[in-house]
Structure 1
Amino acid sequence: MTVCAVLFDVDGVLLDSAAAHRKVWNTWSLARGLDPERVWQLTFGRRPEDTVKDAAAHLDPIVERQVLDELLGRETDSIRPVDGAAELLRELSGSLWAIVTSGDRAFVEPRFAAAGLPLPVVRVYGGDVEHAKPAPDCFALAAARLGVAASACLVVEDAPAGIHAAVAAGCTVIGLTTTHPEESLQHAHMRATSLAEVRSLLVTQGLLTSP
Structure 2
Amino acid sequence: MRMISAVLFDVDGVLLDSAAAHRRVWNSWALSRGLDAEKVWRLTFGRRPEDTVKDAAAHLDPAAERQSLDELLAKERDGILPVGGAVRLLRALSGRAWAIVTSGDRAFVEARFAATGLPLPAVRVYGSDVEQAKPAPDCFALAASRLGVDPSACVVVEDAPAGICAAVAAGCTVIGLTTTHTAVALSRAHMCAVSLDEVRELLLARGFLNTP
Please list every run of 5 or more consecutive structure 2 residues that lacks an aligned counterpart in the other structure. Answer: none
Q: How far, CA to CA, are the matches of 1:132 and 1:77 in structure 2?
A: 27
Residue 204 of structure 1: how far off its partner (Å): 2.4
SS of the counterpart of 1:49?
helix
Instruction: Give every structure 1 segment of 4 or more consecutive aligned residues whose post-TM-superposition deviation is greater than 3 Å.
Output: none
- Hey, what's the Cα distance between the residues in 2 that align with 1:42 and 1:161? 10
Q: Which residue of 2 aligns with 1:11?
A: 12
Comparing 195-204 with 162-171, which one deviates more in the overlay? 195-204
Aligned 1:1-211 pairs, distance under 5 A: 2-211=3-212
Secondary structure of the residue aligned to 2:145 is helix
TM-score (norm 1): 0.98
The residue type paired with residue 125 of structure 1 is Y
Alpha carbons of 1:178 and 1:195: their partners in 2 closer, same or farther (altered >3 Å)?
Answer: same
State the number of aligned residues: 211
- What is the CA distance between 1:3 and its match in structure 2? 1.4
1:93 is displaced (CA, Å) by 0.7
User: Which sections of structure 1, spanning at least 5 residues, go unmatched?
Assistant: none
Between the two proteins, what is the percent identity of the paired residues? Answer: 76
Matching residue's letter, 1:48: P
Offset, 1:49:
0.2
- Contact kept? 2:92, 2:211, Cα under 8 Å: no
Alpha-carbon shift at residue 96 of structure 1 (Å): 0.2
How big is the shift at 1:74?
A: 1.0
- Give RMSD over aligned pairs: 0.9
Secondary structure at the aligned position of 1:183 is classed as: coil
Structure 2 Cα separation of the partners of residues 39 and 53 of structure 1? 11
